[in-house]
Amino acid sequence: MSTQKVVRIHAYGNRDVLACENAPIPAVGADEVLVKIHATSINPVDWKVREGYLQGFLAHKLPLVLGWDFAGEVAALGTNVSEWKLGDAVYSRPDISRDGAYAEYIAVKASELARKPETVNWQQAAAVPLTALTAWQALYDMVNVQAGERVLIHAGAGGVGSFAIQLAKLRGAYVYTTASTRNVDLVKSLGADEVIDYTKNDFSQLRDLDVVFDTLGGDALAKSWQTLKQGGRLVSIISAPDAATAEQHQVTPFFCFVQPSAAQLTELARLIDAGKIQIIIDSVFALKDIAQAHEKSESGRARGKIVVQVS
């Protein structure tokens, strides 16, 4: 078999440009691994790339397979690869500049793979990499959250937010989060100490926070500065926070665009297998129904992750 089912785009645009079709199984370079994908998941970056919003940021070539999360089994090895063997269960957030995981197979650098958590299924594993790595890199690598610090995490029921709450709590932080009424119990179950129901209350009344994790941008970001104490830190995953505004509030700004990290995925797998991190799945779609999965993601109302079953 030399072809596979993929979903890719031949032009930028709305959900209509998503085409389910046959394409060649990718060739494997010397330092790469071919993975048979069992499940992938949807992230907002998928439809932002699809719409063409990131053309100036990422050098993609069309046609392009979207999707940068997966869990699957090693199906072939490059000539220089010795750390993996056929059949190994792996998961990854692969290089976003290359074809992604809305496909039956993907070729990735061997160094980007980590062993799948043993205690979860393919769908759950596929829901982890991009969002959990984003939360890890923002909270641990950039703002370096410490025990006892007061942290506000926007949209705690979302894909990134649900992992961010748990990672901040593992560091011993006191966590505030925003959520709608229907998600209050969910974010509390993940460890949030105080929940601001944004349908009833305004988070911008908070004061003297150490850290704000912005997952929304726009008004949420604009109203977050005043909640921080002098010397606080704000990290956004939407766009680079304005340096002048940060200076005015005497706050250190950060922008996090997630990078692949096998080492961090290995540690996340350990935490998942130890029962210290829960994985929240909103819904599961078939590969052929990817447009509906994008529609759900674009609504901004998913609880946790939207997963796509591939095989």
Q: What digits encode the pLDDT tens for the residues 13-71?
A: 999 999 999 999 999 999 999 999 999 999 999 999 999 999 988 989 999 999 999 99
User: CA 3 to CA 24: how far, in whole Å?
Assistant: 4
- Nearest 5°: the CA angle 96, 97, 101 is 50
Interval 292-305: pLDDT, tens:
999 999 999 999 99
Tell the residue number behind the tokens 């993601």, with chain if given: 297
The DSSP 8-state label assigned to residue 251 in this structure reads -
Interval 126-154: pLDDT, tens:
999 999 999 999 999 999 999 999 999 99
| Mean residue pLDDT across the chain | 97
Interval 235-282: pLDDT, tens:
999 999 999 999 999 999 999 999 999 999 999 999 999 999 999 999
CA quadruple 189, 193, 197, 200: dihedral sign: positive
What's domain 3-128+279-309's superfamily in CATH?
Answer: Medium-chain alcohol dehydrogenases, catalytic domain (3.90.180.10)
Burial bucket for residue 35 (CB in 10 Å: 0-12, 13-18, 19+):
buried
- Nearest 5°: the CA angle 42, 10, 111 is 50
Contacts of 299 (CB under 8 A, 6+ apart): none
Query: How far apart, in Å, are the Cα atoms of 116 and each of 76, 113, 145, 300, 308?
Result: 17, 9, 26, 28, 17
pTM of the model: 0.97
- Domain 131-255 class, CATH top level: alpha beta
User: CA 29 to CA 49: how far, in whole Å?
Assistant: 25
Please tell me whether residue 108 adopts helix, strand or coil conformation. strand
Please tell me whether residue 292 adopts helix, strand or coil conformation. helix
- List the domain boundaries for the chain: 3-128+279-309, 131-255
